[in-house]
Structure 1
Amino acid sequence: MFDLFKSGSGEHPDDVKGIRHALLQFVKQELQKAEGGEGANIKGLSIYINCASAERQVYEAAVFTEDPDQLKNEIQRISDDYSLDLPTNWALTISFDDAFPDDAVKMQNLPVALFVKTKTHFVKQQATAYVKALSGKTLQLSYVISSEGGKYNIGRDEKAQSDEGYFRTNHIAFPSESDDERNKYISRQHAHIEWNKNLAKFVIFADEGGIPPRNKVKLRSALTEKIVKLHATQIGQELEEGDQIILGESVVLEFSFQQQNHE
C-alpha cells in the first residue's frame, strides 16, 4: 500500500488518494529513521502544506481536516506495523500556508514538509488565558484558565448531575436561574478546555452533552474566520487568540491571552 509513490521520484499525485498515499509513504520513511526504540522519544509530528489555493480542497480531504484523528490513526498503524514504538500520547498537527521550519524534511514531489518533534525540542511551557461570555450569562464576568489547572468544564450550573447520576463541577458555568433565555440551551456537560503539553496549546473538546444530535459546539477562528464543528468527544480543536467558542445556537465564549476588561 505504501509503496505506491516514492518520495524521491518525479511522480506528482494530484488526487486525494494519491496525495494521501504519498504522504503516508513519506511519513513512514522518516519514522523508520527512528527505529531501535528511538520512536519513544518522539513527542509529535507536524505536517506543513503549502499548496496552491486551487489545490487546497484536495489536500484538506487528503489529510482528513474534518476528522484529523483518521490521519493520526493511519500513522499509528504504520508505527504498529513497523514496530516504531511511538508513545501513546504523541500529537499530530497539520498547518496550511505556514512557512516550513528550518528543521523540517521536505517532500520532493509534493508541497509538504514534516517536522518530527522530539523531547529535545520541548521545554516546559506555561500559559494563562481568559474566557469571557459574549452572549449568554456566566456566573463570573470572566474566567482565568492556566496550563497548570487541568481540565476546565463548561456547562449549565456549577454543580450539575449527569444522566449517569454523578455530579460534575462546571468551572465555566451558565446558571439555570439566569434571566438570559440562551442559558437554557446549554447542556449540563457541554464541553471542556484543557492544556495539551505536547502542542503547548489550550484545546477545546465537546463533551457528551455538546455533540449532535443533543447539542452543538463550534469554533470560529479569529484568524481565518472559518467555523469548525466538533462532532466527537475525543477530537479537540486548538484555541488561538480571539477565537470564539459557540455553544448551542447562540451562546458565545471568547478565548484570549489578554486579560479581559469587565464592562
Structure 2
Amino acid sequence: MSLIEKVKNLFGFTAAEQHASVEPIIDLPKGDDSDPVTPKSVPAGPPPAALQRERIIRFIVSKLRAYQNEPETAPIGLRLGILRASPEEEELYRVALWENQPGKFQRELNRQLADNYITLPPNWQFNYSFFSDELPDSTYLEGNLGLTVLDKSKPNNASLRASISALVGQMEQASYLLDPAQKTVYCIGRGHTTQTASGRVRTNDIVILNEDDPGFDPQKGAGNGAVSRSHATIRYEAEQQRYVLLVDAGGLPANGNKTKIMHPDEQVERADIANLVYPLQDGDQIELGGEVMLLFKLA
C-alpha cells in the first residue's frame, strides 16, 4: 500500500469495503404427498355367531322336511355333530348355540320347525358334540355339520357307546366297552377292589392291573403303580348325552396324584378338582398318575 493510500485510510477518506450480504437459504417445508389414511370399514351384516346359528337352523330344518305334517312319526331327538378346525371356531359355535343360556337354542329351533309345519314331541331332546378329526356316522351330513335323527325305532343311546383302551400301561382287558344301555357309571382304578375312606368296598369296572394280578406284564405295566386304586370315574349323562370324567379322591393332587385330559387339538386340561365334571370328547387321552395313558373313543 502506498503512502498516500495510508494517509487516506488514516483520515477516513476511503470507504469501507462492502461485503455482499448473502441471504440464508431457508428450506420451506414440503407438502405431504403421502396418501391420506382411510379408516377401515367395518363389515356390514350380522355378527359371525348369528350367521352360524342361522346356518345350523337352516341345515336342520331342510333335513327334516320329510316330517312336515307327520307328527306321529316325528323324531324324538336330534343330535348335532360339529367338526371344528380350531378352538376359536369351537368357541364361535358355542356362542351361536347359546351355550350359556341352556334351552334357548332348542326353543328357537322348535319355533322355526313349527313354522315349517314340523311338529316334534313335547319332550324331544337336542344335544351337540364337537369333533376334531372326523364326524361320526350321522343320518345327514353337510360340510362340517352332521345330524343324527332319533325316532321311536332307534334307542336314544344306540350310537353313544364308547370304548377305553390303553396307550401306555396295562389294563386287564385290551379294551372296555362303555354302553349306557348296560350301565352309566364306570370306576377306574388299580386292582379289582379297594376299600374307601367310608369303609365301602369299591369295585373297579376299568381295571389297571396291579403287580400281583394274574397276567401282569412288568414291561407293559411298568407305570401302573402310579395309578390309585380309586383314581377316577367315567359317567354317562343321559340328559346331555355325553360322557364326563370325575376325579376320585385317589387321583387328586391332595393325595399326591394327578390326572390330565389331553384333547385332540393338543390342549391339556388338568382334572384336579373333586366333584367337577370334565366332558370327554372323541379321541381324548386320559393320563393317570403321569404314567398310564388311556384312549377314549366314541364307538
Q: TM-score range by the shorter chain?
A: 0.5 to 0.7
Structure 2 stretches of 5 or more lacking a match?
Answer: 1-42, 112-121, 213-217
Residue-by-residue CA offset, 1:66-115 (whole Å, 9 max, x unaligned): xxxx9545462333578765645x4312245758x894567xxxxx6463
Residue-by-residue CA offset, 1:178-200 (whole Å, 9 max, x unaligned): 6956524536141327698x98x
Pick from 154, 159, 172 the counterpart of residue 206 of structure 2. Answer: 172
Q: What is the 5 A alignment of 1:27-42?
A: 27=56, 41-42=76-77
TM-score (norm 2): 0.49
Structure 1 stretches of 5 or more lacking a match?
Answer: 1-9, 107-111, 258-263
Pick from 233, 240, 246 the counterpart of residue 191 of structure 1. Answer: 233
- Hey, what does 1:160 align to over in structure 2? 194
- Hey, what does 1:109 align to over in structure 2? none
Q: Number of matched residues?
A: 219
| Paired letter, 1:115 | L
Higher relative contact order (CA 8 A, sep 6+): 1
- Hey, what does 1:43 align to over in structure 2? 78
Q: Which has the larger radius of gyration?
A: 2
Name the CA distance, whole Å, in 2 between partners of 1:81 and 1:64: 15
- Hey, what does 1:61 align to over in structure 2? 91
| Paired letter, 1:79 | Q
Residue-by-residue CA offset, 1:239-261 (whole Å, 9 max, x unaligned): 44xx643113222235689xxxx
Name the CA distance, whole Å, in 2 between partners of 1:172 and 1:24: 39
- Hey, what does 2:130 align to over in structure 1? 94
In the alignment, structure 1 residue 20 sits paired with structure 2 residue 49: yes
Name the CA distance, whole Å, in 2 between partners of 1:189 and 1:119: 38
| Paired letter, 1:92 | Y
- Hey, what does 1:260 align to over in structure 2? none
Q: 1:210–1:217: 8 Å Cα contact kept in structure 2?
A: no
- Hey, what does 2:290 align to over in structure 1? 249
Q: 1:205–1:237: 8 Å Cα contact kept in structure 2?
A: yes
| Paired letter, 2:193 | K
Name the CA distance, whole Å, in 2 between partners of 1:86 and 1:30: 22
Pick from 85, 103, 128 the counterpart of residue 76 of structure 1. Answer: 103
In the alignment, structure 1 residue 119 sits paired with structure 2 residue 151: yes
Name the CA distance, whole Å, in 1 between partners of 2:50 and 2:146: 15
Tell me how far 1:25 sits from its aligned partner. 4.8
Residue-by-residue CA offset, 1:153-204 (whole Å, 9 max, x unaligned): 21244223445554321122346776956524536141327698x98xx956
Name the CA distance, whole Å, in 2 between partners of 1:152 and 1:30: 36
Report sequence identity in percent.
13
Name the CA distance, whole Å, in 2 between partners of 1:24 and 1:95: 18
Cα separation, partners in 2 of 1:26 and 1:141, compared to 1, 3 Å:
closer
Tell me how far 1:209 sits from its aligned partner. 3.8
Pick from 228, 234, 248 the counterpart of residue 277 of structure 2. Answer: 234
Q: 2:79–2:127: 8 Å Cα contact kept in structure 1?
A: yes
When the two chains are superposed, the root-mean-square deviation of aligned CA atoms in Å is 5.2
Cα separation, partners in 2 of 1:159 and 1:102, compared to 1, 3 Å:
closer
Find the residue that maps to 2:78 and give its secondary structure: strand
Q: 1:176–1:184: 8 Å Cα contact kept in structure 2?
A: no
Higher mean C-alpha deviation, range 121-130 or range 159-168:
121-130
Tell me how far 1:116 sits from its aligned partner. 5.8
Residue-by-residue CA offset, 1:132-161 (whole Å, 9 max, x unaligned): 4623x55x2635435354243212442234
Higher mean C-alpha deviation, range 167-176 or range 227-236:
227-236
